[in-house]
């Protein structure tokens, strides 16, 4: 005889374990180093000059010179300094005039990619969006607080109404008193 309950429990345990492993992988991925080794230490803070390697020093000098508004174009040259190498992405743009067959081929490739059923999913973006969604749901649940009972709501409304009435009557009674004084003071008692 087959124990379906036991099978369901085993399947659930496997799913939970798999989910936990993926969760740990996501955490490890997000906690990984996000800064390149060249920018690991910010300018002004860092290791002693004697402990830095030549590569780190050159990198930091280049960063400092390139950080001006003109990207170091008008910086006075330092004696015996090599020309500043621009590091970073180099964009190779396609020419504006291309033969028709090449253009047609590229457009067809784009169309094939768009019409293909298997979408390319960027795992890092997916994990980041899922994590942000979870944080938003957690924040919503924290901000809600306990539910208020009807009696507490009615009690609060009762006291607010009472305060409003007190303010109204207090203001009106002061006005009424002034009006009475002015009415009575204007008449003379001569008969």
pLDDT digits over 91-137, tens only?
Answer: 888 888 888 888 899 899 999 888 887 766 677 777 778 888 887 77
For 2-30, the pLDDT digits (tens) are: 888 999 999 999 999 999 999 998 988 88
Q: How far, in Å, CA of 24 to CA of 19, rounded?
A: 9
Q: How far, in Å, CA of 65 to CA of 74, rounded?
A: 10
Mean pLDDT in residue range 72-92: 77
84, 65 Cβ separation under 8 angstroms: yes
More confident residue, 156 or 6: 6
DSSP 106-121: HHHHHHHHHH-SS---
For residues 73, 74, 75 and 77, what is the CA-based torsion angle, rounded to 10 degrees? 90
pLDDT at 9: 94
pLDDT at 17: 94
The pTM assigned to this predicted structure is 0.24
pLDDT at 191: 47
Q: How far, in Å, CA of 115 to CA of 70, rounded?
A: 45
Mean pLDDT in residue range 151-158: 79
Q: How far, in Å, CA of 56 to CA of 59, rounded?
A: 5
Name the nearest CA neighbour of 60 among 77, 40, 75, 80. 40
Q: Is the pLDDT of residue 150 over 50?
A: yes
Mean pLDDT in residue range 178-187: 53
Mean pLDDT in residue range 164-181: 64
Q: Out of 13-17, 24-28, 50-54, 81-85, pick the least confident.
A: 81-85
Three-state DSSP at 48 gives coil
Three-state DSSP at 182 gives helix
Q: Is the pLDDT of residue 81 over 70?
A: yes
64, 43 Cβ separation under 8 angstroms: yes
Mean pLDDT of the chain: 76
152, 54 Cβ separation under 8 angstroms: no
C-alpha dist (Å) from residue 49 to 53, 122, 135, 150: 9, 41, 42, 69
């Amino acid at each position: 005889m087959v124990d379906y309950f036991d099978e369901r429990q085993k399947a659930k345990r496997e799913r939970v374990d798999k989910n936990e492993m993926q969760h740990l992988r996501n955490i490890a991925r997000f906690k990984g180093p996000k800064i390149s080794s060249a920018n690991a230490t910010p300018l002004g803070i860092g290791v002693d000059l004697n402990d830095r390697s030549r590569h780190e020093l050159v990198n930091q000098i280049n960063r400092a010179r390139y950080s001006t508004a003109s990207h170091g174009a008008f910086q006075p040259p330092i004696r015996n300094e090599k020309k500043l190498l621009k590091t970073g992405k180099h964009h190779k743009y396609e020419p504006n005039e291309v033969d028709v067959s090449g253009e047609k081929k590229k457009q067809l490739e784009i169309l094939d990619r768009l019409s293909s059923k298997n979408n390319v999913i960027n795992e890092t973006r997916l994990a980041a969006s899922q994590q942000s969604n979870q944080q938003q749901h957690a924040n919503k649940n924290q901000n809600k607080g306990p539910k208020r009972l009807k009696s507490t709501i009615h009690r609060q409304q009762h006291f607010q109404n009472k305060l409003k009435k007190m303010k109204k009557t207090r203001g009106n009674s002061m006005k009424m008193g002034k009006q009475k004084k002015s009415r009575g003071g204007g008449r003379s008692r001569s008969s």
